[in-house]
Amino acid sequence: MSISADEAQRVWQEADCLYDAREVEEAITVMADEIAARAGGRNPVLLCVMNGGIVLTGKLMTHLAFPLQLDYIHATRYRGGTSGGDLLWRVEPQLPVKGRTVLVVDDILDEGITLQRIVEWCRGHEAEEVLTAVLVEKRHDRKYGMAGADFAALEVEDRYVFGFGMDYKNYLRNAAGIYAVAGM
């Protein structure tokens, strides 16, 4: 579903700010410390889930003061819409994950279908350990196959959110804060 830049601007102006940029940055710092305590010294592969995970991955990496490698995976269910469909695999990682600790970094854990399938992919490729990190985890009881992320910077109510990498109809990933669409 395509919208215009003017419509995206209207959605942004009417949205509720759940977390401002400072609050998000502070939460990422705390999460990075938790990740460092668990994965530091393990030579992990950070696997950025495109496109939503790109902002969090970039911010997170600057806080991880240990050797790691970065790769990405592009698997999506939304394709610009506001509800998910079948999982579409666009790009698989290029770095081998066999015998490695893998940290899958994504923007949001909503129902968890995409994240669970990526975790399964990593395990199927013989990763030693697979950890998950998300910027936002939604509070509801519709999780698929996983109780929650290993690391979640923030929690949000069950609304459609955007900003800091999360989009609204392919717009607003650049919003410096986390916003909930009014009426959704």
CATH number at residue 105: 3.40.50.2020
Q: Classify residue 171: in a domain, yes or no.
A: no
Q: pTM above 0.75?
A: yes
DSSP code string of 67-116? --EEEEEEEES-TTSSS--S-EEEE--SS--BTSEEEEEEEEESS-HHHH
Mean pLDDT over residues 81-94, rounded? Answer: 70
184 domain-assigned? no
Q: Which residues form the domain of 78? A: 22-159
Q: How many domains does the chain have?
A: 1
Residue 175 is assigned to a structural domain of this protein = no
Domain membership of residue 59 (yes or no) is: yes
Is 129 within a domain? yes
Instruction: Give the whole-number percent of the chain exceeding pLDDT 90.
Output: 78
**Does the residue 5 lie in any domain?**
no
